[in-house]
Structure 1
Amino acid sequence: MTRICLIEDDAIMGEALLERLILEGFDVEWQRTGRGGLEMLLAQRFDLVLLDVSLPDLSGIDLFEHLRRSRTAVPPTLFITGYGSIEDAVKLLKLGAVDYLTKPLDPGELIGKLRALSQSPVAPDPSREPEDRLGISPAMSQIEAELARLARHPHTPVLICGESGVGKEVVARRLHRLQCPQAPFVAVNCAALPEGLIEAELFGHERGAYTGAERRRAGVFEQAGDGVLFLDEIGDMPLALQSRLLRVVQSRQLTRIGGSGALEVPARLVCATHRDLAALVRAGAFREDLYYRVRVLEIRIPPLRERPEDVFWLAERYVAEHVRRFPDECRVLGANDRERLLKHHWPGNVRELQHALERACILGRGPSLALDLPDASAAEQGLKAHAQAGERAAILAGLTDTGFNMTLTAERLGISRKTLWQKMKRYGLERR
C-alpha cells in the first residue's frame, strides 16, 4: 500500500483529502504544520508527499529544501499551490518537485497523478539532477518515467511522435542510455536518403549485388548490433520498402541485398515522425500492418508552446553553456527576455529556441542578450493582415463570378448587401 504524507493546514481541505485518499486505498498521515510534517518525514518512510506551498509556520518550499539537505533521498513530492503562474511552477519543478496542482483541486486529476507516481520507478534525488534531463515540465517528467519502464523491455519497438524540433532524437538517445549505454546507437533519417539507396542503407548488400557494390556492406540494422536503431521520419519511407521493413520487424531477421542467408537482428527499433501516421494509413501512403507493429509503445512529445516551464529552463541552460564556453561573454536572461520567450509561439520548438539563444548570446553586449524574436503584437497584426487579404480576395472572386451583382454576391457570401457594400469600400473594390 502506498504511504502518503499529507501536509495541509486548511482543516476542511485536509480532512476532505484525507477521506478521499483513504477511500482510494492509500495509507495517509496528515500534518497541519510545516514543522510537524518535516519531523514526520525525517522520522518515517513515505512513498509520496502531498505538500501545500502556503503553511503557517514554515512554507512548503522551505520545508522541501530543508528535507533535501537533511536526507539522501526525498520521496516524490507533489505540491499544492493557490497560484498557478509559470514562474512559480518553474521554481517548484526546478527545486525537484515531480509535479504541482493549483487550487481549487480537481480530485480526479489528483488521484490520477498520485496513482501514476506510485507506479513509477523511484524518482532520483533532485539534488543530483542528470545532465541529460529532458525538462522540468510535468509532461517531460512523465516521459522520463515512461522511458525508465520502456528500457526494461529492449525488444519492443517504440514510436516517438511530435512536431519538428521537439527533440525526438534526444528522447531516443535517452532511452538508449537507460537501456544499453555501451551498445551502438545508429540514427538514420529516412527523408534524407535517396530512394535508390535507402534499401541498401537499411539492410546492407553483398559484393556484386548491383553495379557499384564492390564489397560487402553491413546495413544499419547490423551496425546497431544489440543497441538501438533510430529511424527518423519513418512516415517518409517509400511504400514499396515498408513491406520489407515489416518482415524484419516481425521476424527479427534480415537478408542482405544479393544475399541468401538470414541474419539475426537483435537491435531495438525506435521510429520517429512529425507526420500523422494514422492519416497516412487512411490515405494509403503507409502500411496499416507496419503502423501497428512500430507503435506497440508510443511516446508523444508535446510542442514547446504547451510546456512553457521548459522554455525558461532550456533558455537558462543554453545561456549558462555559452558563458561556460566563453567566460568573457557573461550573458544573463533579463525580465524582458523572459517575457518575450514566454509570448513567442515557437513553431520550430526546441531547435528554434536553441538557435535563438545562440544568436542572442553571440550578438549581445555585456550582460544583455540580443534576443531577436517577433513581438506578439506584430505577429497578431500580421495574422490580421493575412485574414483581411483572404477576405478581400474572396469578395473580389464572388463579385467577379456574378458580374458585380451586389445582391447575388451577398447571398453567396452569406452576408447582407449593406455589409458587402461596407467591405467593398474598406478594401477599395469598386463596381465595374
Structure 2
Amino acid sequence: MRNESQCVCLIEDDELMGEALCERFEMEGLSHTWHKRGHEALADLRRQNYGVVVSDMRLPDMSGEDVFVQLRQCKTELPPFLFMTGFGAIDQAVRLLKLGAADYIAKPLEIDDLIRRIRELSEPVPAAESASATLGIAPSMRRIEHMLQRLAASDGSVLITGESGVGKEHVARRLHELAQGAGPKPFVAVNCAAIPETLLEAEMFGFEKGAFTGAAKERRGYFEQADGGILFLDEVGDMPLATQAKLLRAIQEHTVTRLGSETPIRVSVQLICATHEDLLQLCEAGRFREDLYYRINVISLRVPPLRERREDILWLAKRFAEQQSAKKGGALFTFTPAAERALLSYPWPGNIRQLKHCIERACILTDRAQLTPEALLGDLPTAVPNASGSGNSLIAYLDTCEKLYIEELLAAHAWRVGKAAEALGISRKTLWEKMRKHSIADRTKGSSS
C-alpha cells in the first residue's frame, strides 16, 4: 500500500529526463507515477492523491499551468505543485506561485536540489496541538499554521487574502503570537474600511497639537503605536490613493511624519495587510498603486472560505458553543446529529463570521443545552437554493447564497447599511456595490444609513 504523502506524480514528456528522474526517485525510495501527457496526468490527479506533483511547464497536449488551473477547479485540496521551467518561462512560474503553486526549479536541473525540495514539500503537515487549537483542523489551515511558524522569525511584509469573514485577522494575530519568542511585541489592528477617508491619514501617521481644527493635543499614529511589532491593515484595498502614497513612503523610508510636523520619526514595524478584493484588478482599474502592491506582497497567504474546508465547520461550531457555555455558566451546549448535518450542508456565504453569529444567537435564544437545526438555522433564509439538481454553476449558487445572507443582515439591522457593513466586516462602499450587483433595493425610505 503506497504512502500518499510520499508519492510523487511526475509530468514530463521528455524520455531522457523522465527516465533519469524516475531512476533517481527509485534510488531515494520515493514511490512515483510518471505521465508524459497533461490530460493523462490530470485524469489521474482527479482520482488519486499525491504528496507532490512535479511538472514540466511545456507538455505536448497542454501546459503545466493548464493542468494546475483545471485541477484547482475540481478539487479544493491540491498537493503541492513543483514546476520545472526553462529560463524563458520563469515569469509564468512566478504567476503560478501567486495562484498557489508551491515552488519552481529552473532548468538545467540540479537533481539534488529537486529531491531536497520534494522531501520538504512531501513532509506531512504536522497536526500539532497548536494548529488544532488555533486556526483549524483542515489540511489547508494546518498548512497555513505551518507556514506561520516558518514566518515567525521573519519581518517581511505579508499579504493575507480571502473572502470576508474567513478569519484573516485571526491568522495575523496567530503570526504575532508565534513571533513573541524574543519578547512581547505590540500588535495594532486597523480596519481601513471603517475609518473615514478624512481621518485615515491622521490616524495612520499621527498629528501634532493644532495641526487641524479639533487637534487639542498631539497623538501618536498607528505606525508609532506598532513600533517594534506588527501593524495589521485590514481591507487595505479600501485605502484612498493619497494615503497609499504616504504608506508606500513610510514602508520604503521606515519613517513617518505627523500632520503639522516636518520632523520624520523612525519606526520599525512588520506590515501585515489583508483584503477580500483582488488587488491586481484594483491596480488595473487605477484604484490601487502597483508599486505598493509589490511592497506589501512579499509573502502571500490565501485563507480559503469555509465551504472549501468543511472539516472546520463542526470544529469551529463546537468552539463557539463552548465559549457561549462559559459566558452563560450553565450546561455545555451540544448539537443534535441533525443539527450537525444542517451545519455541514449550509454553504456559509459569510464564512466564520456568519457561523459564529449563528451559534451565538442560538445559544442566547434557546432554553435547551442541545441545539437543534431549528435553533441554529431557523432565522437564516429559507430560500437558499438546493445545489443538487438546480442546474446552476457553483458561482451562481454562491451568488444566490450571498444575496440571501446580505438581505438577512440588512433586515437584522433595520436596513441601516453602515451597521450591516460593519457586521459583514466590509466597507459601506463595498456593501453598496454588492447590493447593486444583487439588485437589492434600499428599503430605508430616506432614513439615515
CA RMSD of aligned residues (A): 3.9
After TM superposition, the score normalised by the length of structure 1 is: 0.62
Tell me the amino acid that sits aligned with residue 178 of structure 2: L
Classify 1:320/1:116 alpha carbon distance in 2 versus 1 (closer, same or farther; 3 Å).
farther
Counterpart of 2:170 in structure 1 is: 170
Matches within 5 A, 1:2-21: none
Q: CA separation in 2, counterparts of 1:257 and 1:367?
A: 55
Q: CA separation in 2, counterparts of 1:207 and 1:188?
A: 23
Once the two structures are TM-superposed, the CA of residue 374 in structure 1 deviates from its matched residue by 7.5
Match of 1:379 among 373, 381, 384: 384
Counterpart of 1:139 in structure 2 is: 140
Does residue 307 (structure 1) correspond to residue 309 (structure 2)? The answer is: yes
Classify 1:220/1:331 alpha carbon distance in 2 versus 1 (closer, same or farther; 3 Å).
same
Q: CA separation in 2, counterparts of 1:283 and 1:221?
A: 28
Matches within 5 A, 1:84-103: none
Asked whether the equivalents of residues 131 and 137 of structure 2 are also in contact (C-alpha less than 8 Å), the reply is no
Counterpart of 1:85 in structure 2 is: none
Once the two structures are TM-superposed, the CA of residue 366 in structure 1 deviates from its matched residue by 3.9
Bigger shift: residues 225-234 or 373-382: 373-382
Q: CA separation in 2, counterparts of 1:270 and 1:190?
A: 13
Tell me the amino acid that sits aligned with residue 220 of structure 1: Y
Classify 1:289/1:25 alpha carbon distance in 2 versus 1 (closer, same or farther; 3 Å).
farther
Counterpart of 2:160 in structure 1 is: 160
Asked whether the equivalents of residues 323 and 331 of structure 1 are also in contact (C-alpha less than 8 Å), the reply is yes
Q: CA separation in 1, counterparts of 2:343 and 2:262?
A: 57
Does residue 368 (structure 1) correspond to residue 371 (structure 2)? The answer is: yes
Counterpart of 1:182 in structure 2 is: 184
Counterpart of 1:346 in structure 2 is: 348
Counterpart of 2:225 in structure 1 is: 223
Q: CA separation in 2, counterparts of 1:286 and 1:254?
A: 21
Once the two structures are TM-superposed, the CA of residue 132 in structure 1 deviates from its matched residue by 4.5
Classify 1:137/1:9 alpha carbon distance in 2 versus 1 (closer, same or farther; 3 Å).
closer
Q: Paired residues, what number?
A: 306
Counterpart of 2:212 in structure 1 is: 210
Tell me the amino acid that sits aligned with residue 193 of structure 2: A
Give the secondary-structure state (helix, strand or coil) at the position aligned to 1:380: coil
Structure with greater Cα Rg: 1
Tell me the amino acid that sits aligned with residue 367 of structure 1: Q
Classify 1:327/1:103 alpha carbon distance in 2 versus 1 (closer, same or farther; 3 Å).
farther
Does residue 331 (structure 1) correspond to residue 359 (structure 2)? The answer is: no
Tell me the amino acid that sits aligned with residue 385 of structure 2: E
Asked whether the equivalents of residues 344 and 374 of structure 1 are also in contact (C-alpha less than 8 Å), the reply is no
Asked whether the equivalents of residues 221 and 229 of structure 1 are also in contact (C-alpha less than 8 Å), the reply is yes
Asked whether the equivalents of residues 312 and 338 of structure 1 are also in contact (C-alpha less than 8 Å), the reply is yes
Q: CA separation in 2, counterparts of 1:153 and 1:9?
A: 33
Asked whether the equivalents of residues 206 and 215 of structure 1 are also in contact (C-alpha less than 8 Å), the reply is yes
Give the secondary-structure state (helix, strand or coil) at the position aligned to 2:377: coil
CA-to-partner distance for each residue in 1:47-105, whole Å, 9 max, x for gaps?
xxxxxxxxxxxxxxxxxxxxxxxxxxxxxxxxxxxxxxxxxxxxxxxxxxxxxx99744
Tell me the amino acid that sits aligned with residue 174 of structure 2: R
Match of 2:243 among 217, 241, 265: 241
Bigger shift: residues 368-377 or 283-292: 368-377
CA-to-partner distance for each residue in 1:195-229, whole Å, 9 max, x for gaps?
11111101111222222222221100000110100
Q: CA separation in 2, counterparts of 1:274 and 1:209?
A: 34
Once the two structures are TM-superposed, the CA of residue 307 in structure 1 deviates from its matched residue by 0.7
Tell me the amino acid that sits aligned with residue 376 of structure 2: L
Once the two structures are TM-superposed, the CA of residue 363 in structure 1 deviates from its matched residue by 2.9
Residue identity (%): 45
Tell me the amino acid that sits aligned with residue 165 of structure 2: G
Counterpart of 1:71 in structure 2 is: none
After TM superposition, the score normalised by the length of structure 2 is: 0.59
Once the two structures are TM-superposed, the CA of residue 361 in structure 1 deviates from its matched residue by 2.3
Once the two structures are TM-superposed, the CA of residue 118 in structure 1 deviates from its matched residue by 2.6
Asked whether the equivalents of residues 229 and 267 of structure 1 are also in contact (C-alpha less than 8 Å), the reply is yes
Q: CA separation in 2, counterparts of 1:279 and 1:111?
A: 26
Classify 1:25/1:377 alpha carbon distance in 2 versus 1 (closer, same or farther; 3 Å).
farther
Counterpart of 1:24 in structure 2 is: 25
Once the two structures are TM-superposed, the CA of residue 167 in structure 1 deviates from its matched residue by 0.5
Q: CA separation in 2, counterparts of 1:21 and 1:384?
A: 44
Classify 1:374/1:104 alpha carbon distance in 2 versus 1 (closer, same or farther; 3 Å).
farther
Classify 1:121/1:307 alpha carbon distance in 2 versus 1 (closer, same or farther; 3 Å).
same
Counterpart of 2:150 in structure 1 is: 149
Tell me the amino acid that sits aligned with residue 371 of structure 2: S
Classify 1:252/1:363 alpha carbon distance in 2 versus 1 (closer, same or farther; 3 Å).
same
Match of 2:202 among 200, 203, 217: 200
Give the secondary-structure state (helix, strand or coil) at the position aligned to 1:347: coil
Structure 2, unmatched stretches of 5+, are 11-18, 32-44, 54-77, 82-101, 103-115, 398-449
CA-to-partner distance for each residue in 1:100-136, whole Å, 9 max, x for gaps?
x99744473667599577359996674x446752011
Q: CA separation in 1, counterparts of 2:26 and 2:269?
A: 41
Asked whether the equivalents of residues 343 and 376 of structure 1 are also in contact (C-alpha less than 8 Å), the reply is no
Once the two structures are TM-superposed, the CA of residue 285 in structure 1 deviates from its matched residue by 0.9
Tell me the amino acid that sits aligned with residue 336 of structure 2: G
Counterpart of 2:266 in structure 1 is: 264
Match of 2:282 among 280, 283, 287: 280
Classify 1:27/1:318 alpha carbon distance in 2 versus 1 (closer, same or farther; 3 Å).
farther
Give the secondary-structure state (helix, strand or coil) at the position aligned to 1:24: helix
Give the secondary-structure state (helix, strand or coil) at the position aligned to 2:330: coil
CA-to-partner distance for each residue in 1:259-296, whole Å, 9 max, x for gaps?
12221120111111111111111111111111111111
Tell me the amino acid that sits aligned with residue 237 of structure 1: M
Structure 1, unmatched stretches of 5+, are 1-6, 31-100, 388-432
Q: CA separation in 2, counterparts of 1:362 and 1:118?
A: 47
Asked whether the equivalents of residues 136 and 142 of structure 2 are also in contact (C-alpha less than 8 Å), the reply is yes
Q: CA separation in 1, counterparts of 2:150 and 2:27?
A: 23
Tell me the amino acid that sits aligned with residue 319 of structure 1: A
